[in-house]
Homo-oligomer: A and B are copies of this chain.
Amino acid sequence: MVEVDTGMDRCGVDTAQECLALARQVMELPGLRFEGITGYEGHCSLTFDNELRHERQREAMTFFTGVADLLEANGIPCKIRSAGGIATWRWTAGYPGLTEIQAGTYVVMDNYHGRMVPHFEHSLTIQASVISRQSGKVIVDAGNKSVAAPDEVTIVGHDHKVFRFDEEHGIFSAPLGSPLQVGDRVTLVPGYSPSTVNWYDAYHVVQDNVVVDIWPIIPRGPGHHGLAGLAAPAR
């Protein structure tokens, strides 16, 4: 796969001609096979306004499918055309000429992406405990080492705004008081799940308030099977 920069201003070829030249080079090299192009339009995820985001997505995909067209016009089959993120998945999935959508965050969701794509449920939460009720605040034992994008963290069932997140403390404002007391367990919805999941070794899969399974978060790297690894040690 050749990466095409569709607007992230990051890695990938910048023009269709560059892509054509690189695809030809790939095809000439032994042991390599050209399969297609990938052009995640992730810059659109930074645009909250729906209209403007859609406009940027269209612009990115017009360019991207144009690259595929140039390849095919030059006799290079472009089987895979992969793009699309959580914030643009519907538009990119419906765009003619795409074969694969890269959206992933929808599986777990978070508050950041939820603002742009509100129709997915939030399946990823962080379990924490209240450790202090000082000075009109609710302080929990999950800080910015436990939940990413802490400014957007919310407590399920409680309307407390984030005051500040330190490394091991999550601090919420409760100027009008709170039913939460020291020792209470709370459920946090992360601000940003793509940078939260990688801090943990395992998902605890909960169904009807019961942990029914533990899934290791293997992509963290080798040896990260955490609790799941302990439950089923290698023999």
Q: What does the 1/0 interface line of A1-29 toward B look like (CB < 8 Å)?
A: 00001001111101000000000000000
Copies per assembly: 2
Q: A5-B134, A195-B144, A199-B199 are in contact. Are A171 and B223 (CB under 8 A)?
A: no
Chain A binding surface, main DSSP class: loop
Report the separation of the CA atoms of residues A42 and B10 in the bound assembly, to the nearest whole angstrom.
37
Q: With both chains docked as a complex, state the minimum distance between the C-beta of A110 and any C-beta of chain B, in angstroms.
A: 13
- Checking B11, B42, B144 against A139 with a beta-carbon cut-off of 8 angstroms, the contacting residue is B11
Q: Are B167 and A194 in contact (CB under 8 A)?
A: yes
A185 at the interface (CB under 8 A from B): no
Report the separation of the CA atoms of residues A166 and B40 in the bound assembly, to the nearest whole angstrom.
13
Q: Are B10 and A139 in contact (CB under 8 A)?
A: yes
- Checking B10, B169, B198 against A171 with a beta-carbon cut-off of 8 angstroms, the contacting residue is B10
Report the separation of the CA atoms of residues A186 and B171 in the bound assembly, to the nearest whole angstrom.
37
**What are 23 A-B pairs with beta-carbon distances under 8 A?**
A5-B134, A9-B135, A10-B132, A10-B139, A10-B166, A10-B169, A10-B171, A11-B131, A11-B134, A12-B132, A12-B134, A14-B134, A42-B166, A144-B195, A167-B195, A199-B199, A201-B221, A201-B223, A222-B227, A223-B225, A223-B226, A223-B227, A224-B226
| Residue positions of A touching B, CB distance < 8 A | 5, 8-12, 14, 42, 131-132, 134-135, 139, 144-145, 166-167, 169, 171, 194-195, 198-199, 201, 221-227, 229-230
